[in-house]
Chain A
Amino acid sequence: MANIPTLSILIWFPIAAGILILALGSTEKGVRLGKIVALVASTATFILSLQLYSGFDIDTSNMQFIERFQWITHFNAYYHVGLDGISLPLVLLTTFLTPLVVIAGWEVIELRPSQYFAAFLFLEGMMIGVFSSLDGLLFYVFWEAMLIPMFIIIGVWGGERRIYATVKFFLYTFLGSVFMLVALIYMYLQAGTYEITSFHELPLNMREQTLIFFALLLAFAVKVPMWPVHTWLPDAHVEAPTGGSVMLAAVLLKMGGYGFVRFSLPITPDASQYFAGLMISLSLIAIIYISFVALAQQDMKKLIAYSSIAHMGFVTLGFFVVFVIAENAMGGEGARLALQGGMVQMISHGLISGALFLCVGVMYDRLHSRQIDAYGGLANTMPKFAALMVFFALANAGLPGTSGFVGEFLVILGSFQASIWLAFLAATILILGAAYTLWLVKRVVFGEVGNEGVASLQDIGPREYFMLVVLAIAVLFLGVWPAPLMDLMEQTLGHLLEHVSQSKL
């Protein structure tokens, strides 16, 4: 394996496949072939990524599968990629979901299908690039480049207000990214290199750390998204096609969380410590305030989008509560719980929110409405679908035995060690999360057949059944036995925690 650049293949193979699909053209034959290429390529990418899983050494916190070549000599920038326990799970999440998204769009996309599938393959390659870049400049290139396919996906295949949504999405994220670029350039000037690991070791005084912290925060907070820079997400979700929503919720949002653990925490540990209170407050607002907002939604996609924001609040809570625990000096156990919990929550949220958006897609494909009151009593006409939808809803409500429980459980246990009130406020998700999710289920799935539209519905076919069942198995597996996932992160997060506990001042 040593000589095969697996990671580079994972990044560039989907992109190459995307180009091939575009080259096959939009003739009927080209489209048919293009779809097959998309499915085969994304599946092959997933299988290849499993090689990374089996080849990954969980006993070290070092980067693995490293590839490093001179890239732009003038800036001392390298094409430098590698994986550790933080990035590998996210890469696997990306490769796992892309084939499902291809399957989800299989018969549904009628407008320019080749371009649609190509866009997702480009997106996949770039996402893997984001998660595996070890060079700051390379990271930035992937980070920005990935906006393009997403912009196109929403802008071309989106709903009625897609232009408003795309512009909002683009401006929001781009605004954040520009500040990140400034921070990266500043650190390059200090370190003389774009290596992220040398950024980690860069001695920075408190003023520098504060400025860098906020520059990065803008970029990452928008992506997560954190309150109050979250309002682009509901709009983007509502307008995006199903596949776009899935990738947006499941993978794109994780870039924000990834940014915090890869950049903010290790580069600016003292600023992170200093502003932990602020970050925790914003996270709690996301959890509680946004849960309330979710309760008021009439549009299913908006509801799930708001639910996403609330659940991502657990990610940022888990990451930053670490500093408060260290402050209270109650041992490292609590900090590890919270940090691991945040990571697990990212993966789990990817699966569950992805599945829920697929469920909405299944309904939308049939009745072309996202409004809750356009449905009602789906269990009568679509029993198979109803069962899966209820399952994912319960997972979203954090039911033990599903992956949705693991992250929340660990973060709450961890936060308790910082303060009982933190845990108290965070644990309200148990009630609020169940309230908005089950109320959704009650109105959509249960009850008498709501209208003629619902009465005429066909249950899901094998294609839809397959994609939902695969996700259900993953959600269940990680809930019953999260050890395989958590063992991957163990060493890396332990190392990270050690690193951030040492002041740079």
Chain B
Amino acid sequence: MEGIYLAIVLAPLIAAITVGLFGNQVGRAGAHWITILGVGISFALSLFVLKGIVFDGVPVFNETIYRWATVGDLSMEIGFLIDHLTALMIAVVTFVSLTVHIYTIGYMHDDDGYQRFFSYISLFTFAMLMLVMSNNFLQLFFGWEAVGVVSYLLIGFWFKRETAIFANMKAFLVNRVGDFGFLLGIATILMFTGSLDYYQVFALAGNLSEETIQIFPGTEWSVLSLACICLFVGAMGKSAQMPLHVWLPDSMEGPTPISALIHAATMVTAGIFMVARMSPLFEYSQTALSVVLVIGATTAIFTGLLGIVQQDIKRVVAYSTLSQLGYMTVALGASAYAASIFHLMTHAFFKALLFLAAGSVIIALHHEQDIRKMGGLKKYMPITYWTALIGTLALVGFPGFSGFFSKDALIEVVHLSTTPGAHYAYWCVLLGVFVTALYSFRMFFIVFHGEERIDPHAKKTLKESPAVITVPLIMLAVPSVLIGWFTIGPVLFGEFFNDSIFVLQDPGVVAQLGQEFHGPLTFIAHAATSSVTLYMVLAGALTAWFLYLKRPDLPGRFRERFALFYKVLDNKYYFDWFNEIVISKNIRLLASLFWRIGDEVLIDGIVVNGTAQTIRLFSRLIRTLQSGYLYHYAFAMIIGLAVILGWLVFSY
């Protein structure tokens, strides 16, 4: 099996290297065929692995591939851990990656950096697979940063745009703030367990929960809480949780295919995956779970609100991603890891679909992203329209669609949760449903229905996108509708994650909910009759219909009426302002202060050159003594003699 796992990660890597180094030789067609082949192999093998684990009962694989380094008794290794969680993740990652590869053929058709783009997305696939297949913290950190770097390269793919290269630097630095915490978390774990291997660390988690560490003199902190919160800071960076979410909307400067692949379906969910993977640690720290829960809930509702005022089609979807990541994080905090991963999976499909549909619109309108210049696209782009509708229905959680199953279950388990803060979180995620429906349908109606506000120039050539774009849309629309039906039973409520996710409470919140689960149909019926969620969805959709189709004059009036509220939303709660004016500017000020005052004036000016000056001054003084006149020297000798004689005489 080891060969198969190696092939899964290496196929995209080899494709990326080949296309990256020999882009000119292989040509455009060569570039996409080679990378699609690489990812295709990975996808096929991932399905094979998934099948083996789910149906054939292949045991968990946890082996070392090679020894990275040894320090004393500590062996740091690169290795794979293949269990149900990993198997599911690699299948999702490679599938979305494959559709994005195909889609890219159409989307990047006229771009000069065609080969480079394919090389990057294949490299990304490799890094993401290394991350999810890791069996140790070292490799996890490698994958963690490697996906960050490819994200950096891809956000700045159009490197001539000032906004793009600002956004990619911002993304990398904000992620580094997260990684900073992540690294300290890893250091904590190493110090108290002496190992970087998942299973060895997990085995010690129970003992670890009793250890304490002094961070400030006199206060004892639980080691496990410290480690988990530090690790979660990493997740906050990668999975864009408040206040480290600021990079994700800006990352939309990158080409749309990577917004779908990296900034919606896969990389941003790495934090969610990581916390789920670390469930044996998080479970022993109520404090950490509470932090996770509250931050997730806050992100879910507040970033969702921002989605309502955005005018850029991709940014609406980006804020929606932030909000949905908040949902997943809430579930983690509620110890409902399975629910979180389940939502991660359905979200990967429908959010990638929404992004690619947005991209289809953008490309059809010649790179127009402002929704105010769209409208009535339904009749021009039927396939995009219908797939986008599917994506939207899945996102808002309309019964029967994949997002419905995952989101409804998620909200229910938060309701059942007893983690401190769960009450707040429940209200956040519930209100979030209304907000989600509102911004999703707002965008949907403005883009596809209503008045046509399309640029007349663009309208002449407006037509449905080619097959390389619509086929991936359909490929993603299918699971967006269906995946929930097949998987909610076995994956969420079954024993799917028993080998990878650990829940301390018995039965956990997911299992409690599972006791009432009698098939997807009754689940829908239950939601329709006894839960408020569905009404929230309908209310949101109706509000959007009323405001943006029925009475399009109203939003403007609201904006004037609630100017302050609107201003806060429009300025994204002033996070960017704070980071740029307060933090970034002061850091630069401090930097030049240190340089100009510390180095140039104090050290070089006073100490170094000052010493030289002093010596010069002193030597000038001495020089006047060396006059060269004999009588000066004779006089000095006589004085000297007198002094010595005097001393001799008086001392006896």
Contacts and interface: CB of A to CB of B under 8 A. Distances in A.
Contact of A442 (B165, B184, B604): B165
A434 B172 contact: yes
Given A296-B588, A416-B191, A231 B599 contact: yes
Interface stretch (A188-196, A210-218, A482-490): A482-490
Interface string A390-428: 100010000111000110011011001100100110011
B74 A337 contact: yes
B136 to A, nearest CB: 13
A448 B191 contact: no
B91 to A, nearest CB: 25
Contacts of B177: 431
Interface stretch (A71-79, A98-106, A252-260, A326-334): A326-334
A289 B592 CA distance: 11
Contacts of B186: 413
A133 interface: no
Given A295-B587, A400-B142, A490-B70, A442 B169 contact: yes
Interface stretch (B61-69, B424-432, B641-649): B61-69
Contact of B604 (A231, A380, A430): A231
A438 B159 CA distance: 13
Contacts of B169: 438-439, 442
A438 B190 CA distance: 30
Contact of B142 (A333, A401, A412): A401
Interface string B126-162: 0000000000000001101110010011001001101
A394 B151 CA distance: 13
Nearest to A380: B160
Interface string B166-184: 1001001100110110011
A410 B76 CA distance: 11
B504 interface: no
A169 B68 CA distance: 39
Contacts of A427: 180, 183-184
Contacts of B590: 292
A306 to B, nearest CB: 8
B369 to A, nearest CB: 21
Contacts of B180: 427-428, 430-431
Nearest to A175: B611
B594 interface: yes
Contacts of B68: 481-483
Contact of A379 (B159, B166, B173): B159
A333 B194 contact: yes
A379 B69 CA distance: 36
A293 interface: yes
A483 B159 contact: no
A55 interface: no
B165 A333 contact: no
A399 B153 CA distance: 13
Most buried by B among A292, A410, A412, A448: A292
A435 interface: yes
Contact of B184 (A337, A405, A423, A494): A423
A336 interface: yes
Interface string B597-630: 0110001100110000000000000000000000
A333 B74 contact: yes
Contacts of B533: none
Contacts of B153: 390
A399 B145 contact: yes
Contacts of B66: 481
Nearest to A416: B187
A413 B192 CA distance: 11
For the residues of B in contact with A, the DSSP-based class is helix
A447 B162 contact: yes
B215 to A, nearest CB: 6
Contacts of A401: 142, 145-146
A295 B591 contact: yes
A430 B70 contact: no
Interface residues of A, number: 56
A266 interface: no
A177 interface: no
A289 B194 CA distance: 32
B174 to A, nearest CB: 9
Contacts of A405: 145
Contacts of A400: 141-142, 144-146
B56 interface: no
A447 B74 contact: no
A295 B177 CA distance: 17
A275 interface: no
B183 A448 contact: no
B553 interface: no
A297 interface: yes
Interface in A468-505: 481-483, 486-487, 490, 494
A297 B72 contact: no
A293 B191 contact: no
A85 interface: no
B370 to A, nearest CB: 23
B42 interface: no
Contact of A406 (B69, B152, B183): B69
Given A446-B165, A447-B159, A434 B73 contact: no
A427 to B, nearest CB: 5
A435 B173 contact: yes
Contacts of A445: 159
A340 interface: yes
Contacts of B145: 399-401, 405
A450 to B, nearest CB: 11
B598 A231 contact: no
A293 B74 contact: no
A218 to B, nearest CB: 14
B259 interface: no
B72 A494 contact: yes
B213 interface: yes
Given A431-B177, A446-B156, A289 B598 contact: yes
B592 A296 contact: yes
Contacts of A289: 594, 598
Contacts of B194: 333
A168 interface: yes
B187 A413 contact: yes
B188 interface: yes
Contacts of A399: 145-146, 149
A439 B587 CA distance: 13
B72 A424 contact: no
Contacts of B596: 296
Contacts of B598: 289, 293
B71 to A, nearest CB: 5
A251 B599 CA distance: 24
Contacts of B592: 296
B382 to A, nearest CB: 39
A424 B587 contact: no
Most-contacted residue by chain A among B71, B180, B186, B188 (CB, 10 A): B71
B595 interface: yes
A157 B172 CA distance: 39
A377 interface: yes
A427 B233 CA distance: 14
A332 B72 contact: yes
A228 interface: yes
A454 to B, nearest CB: 12
B518 to A, nearest CB: 47
8 contacts: A292-B591, A295-B587, A295-B591, A399-B149, A423-B184, A447-B159, A483-B67, A490-B71
Interface of B: 66-74, 141-142, 144-146, 149, 152-153, 156, 159-160, 162, 165-166, 169, 172-173, 176-177, 179-180, 183-184, 186-188, 190-191, 194, 213, 215, 226, 587-588, 590-592, 594-596, 598-599, 603-604, 607-608
In the complex, the 7 A-B pairs of residues with the closest C-beta atoms, listed nearest first: A416-B187, A296-B591, A295-B591, A400-B142, A446-B165, A446-B159, A296-B592
Given A228-B607, A231-B608, A435-B587, 5 more contacts: A296-B595, A405-B145, A427-B184, A446-B156, A446-B159
